[in-house]
Amino acid sequence: MFKLFQKKEKPRVFLGTLTVLPRSDIKRHLENWGVLNDDDMDAGLKKNLKEIFTLPLAKEVENPATNDLVVDVVIPKFQSGELWDLTLDGVGIPLFWRPKVTVSSRLYYLKTKKTKSTFSVTEKMGFGHYFGLLFSFSRIFRPKINSSDMEVLLYQACHKLLLKMQKSI
């Protein structure tokens, strides 16, 4: 009876792995004509993940409790966006895709490695913001979408992901 009124002890959360999966879609060859290298983008996204998830490492825990949790974070998909003009017999057809990043995580128990829950968030740049970047005067001599633009999307996605995880803990 008294167990119902006792406060549950919140689990400690540790960091497992941070991963950015390499792109395998056709868009990686079409975006920015090689101005932004995929390897540079991967490294930048992984660096930002390390800054966002500043948790103690799970592999350094000496005496794990039964309710200790570990979070693994992965970026399975991202794209930096592009705008193309396809012209067929004098008719121009715009073809574009906006910058987007997907962040997924797995929350599991440190002792048993049993998954508690998984989460995924996809964040896209808004149409107005994207077209504003494409057609701004300052972007004439620079890539259309740079790493700082992708960083903003990553931070927004990670914020939403952390809120989802916090609710489940």
Number of domains in the chain: 1
Helix 147-168 vs helix 38-52: angle between axes, to the nearest 10 degrees? 40
CB 28 within 8 A of CB 39: no
Range of the domain at 107: 12-56+71-168
Query: Does residue 7 lie within any of the structural domains?
Result: no
Query: Does residue 1 lie within any of the structural domains?
Result: no
> What pTM, to 2 d.p., does this model score?
0.80
Confidence of residue 23 (pLDDT cuts 50, 70, 90): confident
Query: Does residue 146 lie within any of the structural domains?
Result: yes
What is the pLDDT of the chain when averaged over all its residues? 83
What pLDDT is attached to residue 44? 86
Higher-pLDDT residue of 85, 121: 121
Query: Does residue 66 lie within any of the structural domains?
Result: no
Query: Does residue 101 lie within any of the structural domains?
Result: yes
Query: Does residue 90 lie within any of the structural domains?
Result: yes
Nearest to residue 41, comparing CAs of 162, 126, 153, 127? 153
Query: Does residue 2 lie within any of the structural domains?
Result: no
> What DSSP line would sit under 148-167, residue for residue?
HHHHHHHHHHHHHHHHHHHH
129-140, pLDDT tens digit by residue? 777 777 776 655
